[in-house]
A and B are shown apart, each in its own frame.
Chain A
Amino acid sequence: MKELICIVCPRGCHLQVDEDNGFAVTGNSCPRGAEYGRNEAVHPVRTLTSTVRIEGAPITRLPVRTASAIPKALLFDAMNEINRTSVHAPVKRGQAVIKDLLGTGVDVIATRDL
């Protein structure tokens, strides 16, 4: 039995995941918690947020995030990619600044208009 704190929402439910019983989740308050518990035990993923250099804008950093969650094991490799990236203004919120990050199929997108 694995004990986890759900990170899907600020409620922070205390989950129990039963590895010996098809990763059945208890302690969750919603279906998303059950999904999180199962994923966390089998294949943990996280949304990564950071900034990239931007030129031609009034500030020097553009905030970005992965468009969806990526494997937790890739976080530091993903940071290396993000820190190598530089963009030029104008950039729109939602615009991809890195396509298919590390072959995950997930883009890194801008989170602010600059």
Chain B
Amino acid sequence: MSYELIVIGAGPAGLAAALSARKQGLTRIAILERDKYLGGILNQCIHNGFGLHRFREELTGPEYAGRFIDELSGSGIDVFTDTMVLNVTRDKQVHCVSPQYGYRILEAQSVVLAMGCRERTRGAIGIPGDRPSGVFTAGTAQRYLNLEGYLCGKRVLILGSGDIGLIMARRMTLEGAKVLACVEVMPYSGGLSRNIAQCLNDFNIPLYLSHTVTEIRAQNGRISGVTVSKVDENRRPIPGTEMDFECDTLLLSVGLIPENELTRGMGIAIDPRTNGAVVYENMETDLPGVFACGNVAHVHDLVDYVSKESEKAGAAAAKYVLQGPNEGEAIDVINGDGVSYTLPQRIRVSALDGAAEIFFRVRRNYGKAQIEVLSGDESIAVYKRDRLAPGEMESIRLSRELLSKARGEIRVSIKEQ
């Protein structure tokens, strides 16, 4: 079977990319999804706060997904759920398996990679101590509770102050668990301020910044307690600062890793800063006709931005199929002072329809600050912000005229005022 576009993943990124490619004129589109349902992680994100930018109202995750799923019916897009993609070749043959069709090879003229990300686990952060049950990633606990109806513990400590951890602190509290504390190794939270306010402060759950879990204890194979220690500026535990908590559950909300096994298998260049593919201004990877968007490209904090970015990728895939590949010289976008990554990593100025939007994250909290774009030593644009935080993705727009002045590369830097 042959398609103009195959989208891998039916979370918010895949759904938006497929619908956008359809609107831009592609008629033979397939979405492949390994779960039984469309919507991806949004199905278990039952809390509200989605869609404020896109729909000007506050929706829950399932409602946000539902709006896109509604649009799919009648669109003529082929949807294959329960379908696992095993690998994709460089000439865009998609190898997949499903109970319904068995092993199949689908051919595509273009591919959108929208596999999302998975959570970092205990192994990724190396916590010492016993290896009992009762240690979950926050998203796993969320799945058990919100989709399957199991509360995974009664006395809970949360390590990491990412948004999923904060949301789970409130959710488990509402379901009758006692959440003892949220512990964050950095001196600032990785989550949105509103989630600190409405998930921790509302329920008097303490947040310990610059602290981490230094021991896990167990009884009869289940976690029975943890030790939390303060850390110094190099994130090393400070002896003498230990606090013991008795708990039956430890949730980890310690970051997300874009799920790029398929991308790597295709030999596509990966950016070690984002752990996602290196992409051009239209979300195209270094393999022409293959695009990446959403959390597989870089971890977002708002789904609204995932949808927007993925529509860009879907439209670009349509353009690739209908009008042929993009040519043209590219400039590199690199991070300067205070910036941890930029996306896109490369911009083909000649391929821009108007302005390029550059997304980035800062390394620490800033008060009033200037975002400066430099080409060589020359400042080509300056943007002012009242505050900047690592937990909140920032973006700037650079016009085509401005970019055509740049030579070779541009650098995005932060200057505190």
Chain A residues, CB < 8 A from B196: 5
Interface status of B175 (Cβ within 8 A of chain A): yes
Question: In the complex, are the beta carbons of A111 and B194 less than 8 A apart?
Answer: no
Whether A103 sits at the interface, judged by CB under 8 Å, is no
Tell whether, in the assembled complex, residue A59 and residue B147 are in contact, meaning their CB atoms are under 8 Å apart.
yes
Docked complex Cα distance between A14 and B387 (Å): 11
Chain A's closest residue to B387 (CB) is A14
Interface centre among A48, A59, A83 (most CB of B within 10 A): A59
Q: Is B52 an interface residue (CB 8 A)?
A: yes
How many chain A residues touch B (Cβ–Cβ < 8 Å)? 33
Task: Give residues of chain A (73-103) contacting chain B, Cβ–Cβ below 8 Å.
Answer: 75-76, 79, 83, 93
By the criterion CB–CB under 8 Å, are A7 and B148 in contact? no
Chain A residues, Cβ within 8 Å of B63: 93, 111-112
Tell me if A10 and B194 are in contact (CB < 8 A): yes
Residue of A nearest to B193 (CB): A12
Residues of chain A within 8 A (CB-CB) of B174 are 48, 50, 75-76, 79
* Cα separation A104 to B175 with both chains bound (whole Å): 21
Which residues from chain A contact B342 at a C-beta distance below 8 Å?
A: none
Whether the Cβ atoms of A50 and B46 lie closer than 8 Å is yes
A47/B48 in contact, CB under 8 A? yes
B78 at the interface (CB under 8 A from A): no
A106 to B72, CA, bound (A): 31
Is the CB of B49 closer than 8 A to any CB of chain A? yes
Q: Is the CB of B36 within 8 A of A112?
A: no
Cβ of B84 within 8 Å of any chain A Cβ, yes or no, is no
Q: Is A28 an interface residue (CB 8 A)?
A: no
Chain A positions within 8 Å of B, measured between CB atoms, are 4-12, 14, 46-51, 53, 58-61, 63-65, 72, 75-76, 79, 83, 93, 111-113
Chain B residues engaging chain A, CB cutoff 8 angstroms:
36, 43, 46-49, 52, 58-63, 66, 145-149, 174-175, 192-194, 196-198, 201-202, 301-302, 392
